[in-house]
A and B are shown apart, each in its own frame.
Chain A
Amino acid sequence: MTGALVLEGLSASYGPVRALDEVSFVVAEGSITAVLGANGAGKTTLLRTITGLVRATRGSAVYGGVDLVGQAPEEVVRLGVAHVPEGRGVIQELTVDENLRLGGSFRRDRQGTRATIDEVYAMFPALAERRRRSTNTLSGGERQMLAIGRALVAKPSVLLLDEPSLGLAPRVTTRIMALLRELVADKRLAVLLVEQNARSALSIADQAVVLGLGRVVLAGAAAEVAADESLRHHYLGY
């Protein structure tokens, strides 16, 4: 499956602490995999290791025939894997438009990039209104849209999202989740969605992976995980 992101035995450490321990699963093209678990379970580390901000000590993360492990982050995105980081990473000193342009700054085709940016504005009219303005005036939800839009300007095939619902009102979260579902359907993205808010993540996910202390403690179809009450109580807190 060339469209899939395949993780195999991925491990990483912060000094003596094993933050990731032999994580293996597959994110299929055109699907959403939710990565869940308590704080400190390694969810953010997982994403950071895939995109190379953290060096993997073992294992591989293969996409499109290329192992992402060992690549610098700026090269990983060129391979089609975009990462919307924790906290969104909206660059405050730049305007909305500059943030978006930055997302496509490594692309060679100016026209294509401009077209993609226009698509993003079409998707998010609120951003289009504010394109020349500083990002200070954006609400939390708008910032999340900007972060996602910026990642999309890179024309990725794999999208990694770190806690998009953080700090957002439930209504906004629902909108963002619905948006993700549409994107996946439209563009056949492979999405890896890290979420603290398990319920909303499970509502749109195809597959669920639960991490505990850096290891995969559970993996399966999202619907089953959502239906299993004792599981939810034990690992997901609801």
Chain B
Amino acid sequence: MRLFVDYTLSGVSAGMVYAAVALGLVLIWRSTQILNFAQGAMAMLTTYVASTLLEHSFGYWAAFALALVAGLVLGAATERVLIRPVEGRSAIDAVIVAIGLLIFLEALAGAIWGSNPRAFPAPFKLVGYVIGGQPVEFTPFDLFIVLAVLLLMGLMLVLFRFTGVGLRMRASAFAPEVARLLGVRVNRMLTLGWALAAMAGALAGVFVAPKVFLSPTYMDSILIYGFTAAIVGGLESPVGSLVGGLGTGLILSYVGGYLGSSFQATGALVLLVVVLMVRPTGLFSRVQPRRV
């Protein structure tokens, strides 16, 4: 029973990280119909930036904030330089560009910082809370992660539902041509979408690093789990990302705990397949599945 509680709690915290990654993927998918396979690598890069800042005596929160800013910049630059040229072309082209970017960023990080894993600090204690005399698998840092991601989601929701920018971004995603006729600078909205997505990724990157150590490839499996979360949630809504993230986090936590951590990727695969067989376009999607 205690194990179950532990797995549940750590699943929630991991799930929030996957939700943040999923949110980034969904943002980009909704606005540009592209799968950003480089999402994890971009987060890795911004986390290395934070790590370097920390080495140069920046405080944690300054480095944290600058990592998020770096995410905004990296996302905007990527869309402007690499993705804009292929936006009108077939979907595969943009995916391949993202894969190329993934390879490049991981190798670049390896070249600059080496591939030896390095430690990354957490802003809060990594010692579990004590409940009923027993320590549980949930730390103040985990609580911070949950709250921070919830805040991120909340801010995104407010942005989209209640602001002019959000309205323009949604219009650009739903009906780009009509939006242009109404004066929306759709291209700028797309850049903004990528910037916000990369910022969400940067957040995830900084949250993962303390537990698994920073290395050029440390976000690879997180990307895939974030992917799973996004797809389970439907690639269409931030709410879906949250639910998908939590669901994925919990299931993978149970799989890893009861069956062994080497089965986590398999767990993700099975989860993906099961969800997609039942609803080929994800749980929350309103899109019609293909009829063949």
Contacts and interface: CB of A to CB of B under 8 A. Distances in A.
Does B associate with A? yes
Q: Which bracket fits the contact residues of B?
A: 10 to 19
A73 B164 contact: no
Contacts of B167: 94, 98, 101-102, 105
A150 B182 contact: yes
B interface: dominant SS? helix
Interface in B168-218: 168, 170-171, 174-175, 177-186
A106 B171 contact: no
Interface in B93-137: none
Interface stretch (A10-18, A25-33, A77-85): A77-85
B164 A105 contact: yes
Given A85-B178, A89-B178, A101-B164, A77 B171 contact: no
Contact of B180 (A74, A82, A94, A154): A74
Contacts of B181: 51, 53, 73-74, 77, 82-83, 85, 89
A91 B171 contact: yes
A122 interface: no
Interface in A18-57: 51, 53
Given A53-B177, A89-B175, A105-B164, A94 B170 contact: yes
A77 B183 contact: yes
A35 B13 CA distance: 62
Contacts of A93: 170, 174
Contacts of B180: 53, 72-74
A105 B164 CA distance: 7
A141 interface: no
Contact of B183 (A53, A74, A94): A74
A212 interface: no
Contacts of A101: 164, 167
A25 to B, nearest CB: 22
Nearest to A147: B178
A103 interface: yes
Interface string A90-122: 011110001001110110000000000000000
A102 B182 CA distance: 7
B30 to A, nearest CB: 10
Contacts of B182: 74, 77, 102-103, 105-106, 150, 154
B178 A74 contact: no
Interface string B51-88: 00000000000000000000000000000000000000
Interface in B204-237: none
Interface of B: 164, 167-168, 170-171, 174-175, 177-186
Interface of A: 51, 53, 72-74, 77-78, 82-83, 85, 89, 91-94, 98, 101-103, 105-106, 150, 154
27 contacts: A51-B181, A53-B180, A73-B181, A74-B179, A74-B182, A77-B181, A77-B182, A85-B177, A85-B178, A85-B181, A89-B175, A89-B177, A89-B178, A91-B174, A93-B174, A98-B167, A101-B164, A102-B167, A103-B182, A105-B164, A105-B182, A105-B184, A106-B182, A106-B183, A106-B184, A150-B182, A154-B183
